[in-house]
């Protein structure tokens, strides 16, 4: 079904951040074709590839747009984060197309795999949406207008059914004006990568290393590739797919695998590396099945079976309820508990109360999970906890890495480790 242009909804993103001129050239070009919503990193994120943020919360700010009518979100995260947030939660309703760019700098050859611009388009394609990554092979005096014009002409054609959806395109333009461009070529990805060179330096305090992307591995790209097109002052349009598996090696590896399994089965036992060398394994090797650490502004949410029992336990240890949250449906009940500089976040969900009613018959939630809490008052807290008579590791110990720590078991099976950082031995 052809698109009615004004009904088209386009998500625009990039990896150069919200202040990148190319973003606004693209927004301007696409605005005539329908509704444009921008979701971009709040700062430059070039070269982060497909990275997504899993270890701390992501903040989003809706910011005043530089173009009227274009809703704009600045995301404290990667290009992939920006697309995931936009498609999963910020944008309600259907999205017809995702455009990533216009990027300052080429995304050619195998280097495309580290490109935040292409990765953002990939996130859309993973979700069954058509996506275009568009870049200019220029880092200074970047000619954005030819790329903007290209979007304006190409997008309606593509969306009116010129190609099957969903499609994924990697478009690169040479550093040329429209008059100087010598052609438009549908290309394949060149087997060219910019080799990372490591420059060593010293800033007086400590030596450092700096990755510099300067040296292509091949000087003569083959005809028909994206790199060749750009060198010939042509626009390169590369249709992409995601399948990275390589049939060419499959047979050879198939010949290896049966023997490999024989070898694995022939090994009686594999000693732990430290034991084999007469040493001592770091204690965390055996213990930590899963560790939650508070990371950059995040307090891990601990799910518990019985919040009442949990609260009673922590009140005994001198924690106070700092904040409480109950949702309307009564499905979620969360509390923040504080003591000194320590914050813990416990949540009970309705579905767990069935277990609670049967007297915690099933395995406690937190078994095998250590919660690490850093404090500068570990000795005082240890004494105060000990005085309450709660079950705890009997002594305050100095660990492998020089930290002083002790642990208490909470009623949910979490092992709470209070530690004070030390000097590594
Ligand atoms: Mn970039």
**What pTM did the predictor assign?**
0.74
For residue 172, how far is its CA from the centre of ligand 1 (angstroms)?
12
| Higher pLDDT, residue 331 or 292 | 331
CA of 323 to the centre of ligand 1 (A): 41
Better pLDDT: 262 or 97: 97
**Which string of DSSP letters, residue by residue, matches 171-193?**
EEE-S--TTT--EEEE-B--S--
pLDDT at position 347: 84
How large is the average pLDDT for residues 317-325? 91
Q: Is the pLDDT of residue 359 over 50?
A: no
Q: What pLDDT does residue 279 have?
A: 80
CA of 100 to the centre of ligand 1 (A): 10
> Beta strands 71-75 and 97-104: pairing type?
unpaired
Ligand 1 centroid distance, CA of 138 (Å): 11
Q: Tell how far the Cα of 256 is from the centroid of ligand 1, in angstroms.
A: 41
State how far the Cα of 310 lies from the Cα of 177, in Å rounded to an integer: 67
CB atoms within 5 A of ion ligand 1 belong to 15-16, 46, 103
Residue given tokens 């009615």 in the structure block: 4
Q: How much of the chain is in helix, strand and coil states, percent to nearest 5? A: 30, 30, 40
Q: How far is the CA of 223 from the centre of ligand 1 (A)?
A: 26
Q: What's the pLDDT tens digit per position in 199-223?
A: 888 888 888 888 887 777 777 889 9
| Structure-block tokens of residue 27 | 């927004």
Give the pLDDT of residue 423.
Answer: 59
- Would the CATH topology of 5-239 be identical to that of 285-420? no
Q: Distance, CA 393 to ligand 1 centroid (Å)?
A: 51
pLDDT over 90 (residue 365): no
- pLDDT score recorded for residue 421: 79
pLDDT attached to residue 358: 46
Predicted local confidence at residue 167, as pLDDT: 97
pLDDT recorded at residue 402: 79
Instruction: Give the pLDDT of residue 351.
Output: 55
**Confidence band of 390 (pLDDT split at 50, 70, 90):** confident
CA–centroid distance, residue 48 to ligand 1 (Å): 9
Residues 6+ apart with CB under 8 A from 364: 305, 411, 412, 413
Ligand 1 centroid, distance to 118 Cα (angstroms): 9
Backbone angles phi, psi at 212, to 5 degrees: -120, 130
Which bin fits 106, alpha (ψ -120 to 50), beta or left (φ > 0)? beta
Give the pLDDT score at 280.
Answer: 78
Q: What does CATH list as the number for 5-239?
A: 3.40.1210.10
Q: Which CATH number, 3.10.180.10, 3.90.1150.10, 3.40.640.10, 3.40.600.10, labels domain 285-420?
A: 3.10.180.10
Q: Which among 107, 124, 127, 177 is positioned nearest to 147, based on CA atoms?
A: 177
* Percentage, residues of the chain above pLDDT 90: 50
Indicate the domain borders of the chain: 5-239, 285-420
Beta bridge partners of 326: 333
Q: What is the mean pLDDT of residues 347-372?
A: 58
What are the CA-CA distances from residue 395 to residues 240, 382, 392 (Å)?
A: 59, 9, 8
């Amino acid at each position: 079904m052809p698109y009615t242009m004004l009904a088209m909804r386009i998500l625009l993103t990039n990896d150069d951040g919200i202040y990148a001129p190319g973003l606004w050239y693209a927004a301007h070009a696409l605005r005539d074709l329908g509704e444009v919503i921008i979701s971009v990193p709040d700062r430059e994120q070039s070269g982060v590839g497909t990275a997504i943020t899993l270890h701390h919360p992501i903040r989003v700010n809706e910011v005043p747009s530089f173009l009227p009518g274009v809703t704009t979100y600045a995301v404290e995260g990667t290009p992939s984060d920006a697309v995931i947030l936009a498609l999963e939660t910020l944008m309600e309703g259907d999205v017809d197309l995702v455009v990533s760019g216009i990027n300052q700098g080429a995304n050619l050859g195998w280097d495309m795999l580290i490109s935040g611009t292409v990765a953002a388009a990939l996130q859309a394609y993973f979700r069954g949406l058509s996506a275009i990554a568009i870049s200019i092979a220029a880092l200074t005096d970047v000619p954005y207008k030819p790329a903007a014009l290209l979007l304006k002409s190409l997008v309606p054609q593509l969306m009116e059914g010129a190609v099957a959806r969903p499609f994924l395109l990697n478009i690169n333009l040479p550093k040329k004006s429209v008059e100087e461009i010598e052609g438009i070529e549908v290309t394949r990805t060149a087997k060219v990568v910019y080799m990372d060179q490591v420059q060593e330096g010293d800033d007086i305090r400590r030596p450092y290393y700096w990755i510099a992307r300067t040296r292509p591995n091949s000087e003569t790209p083959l005809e028909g590739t994206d790199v060749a097109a750009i060198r010939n002052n042509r626009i390169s349009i590369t249709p992409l797919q995601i399948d990275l598996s390589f049939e060419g090696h499959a047979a050879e590896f198939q010949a290896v695998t049966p023997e490999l399994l024989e070898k694995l089965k022939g090994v009686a036992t594999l000693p732990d590396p430290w034991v084999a060398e007469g040493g001592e394994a770091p204690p965390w090797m055996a213990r930590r099945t899963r560790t939650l650490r508070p990371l950059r502004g995040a307090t891990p949410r601990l799910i518990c079976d019985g919040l009442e029992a949990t609260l009673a336990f922590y009140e005994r240890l001198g924690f106070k309820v700092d904040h409480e949250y109950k949702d309307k449906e009564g499905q979620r009940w969360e509390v923040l508990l504080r003591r000194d500089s320590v914050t813990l976040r416990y949540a009970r969900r309705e579905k767990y109360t069935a277990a609670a009613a049967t007297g915690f018959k099933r395995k406690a939630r937190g078994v095998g999970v250590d919660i690490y809490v850093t404090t500068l008052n570990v000795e005082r807290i240890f004494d105060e906890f000990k005085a309450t008579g709660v079950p705890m590791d009997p002594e305050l110990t100095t660990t492998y890495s020089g930290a002083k720590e002790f642990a208490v078991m909470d009623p949910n099976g979490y092992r709470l480790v209070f530690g004070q950082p030390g000097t590594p031995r």
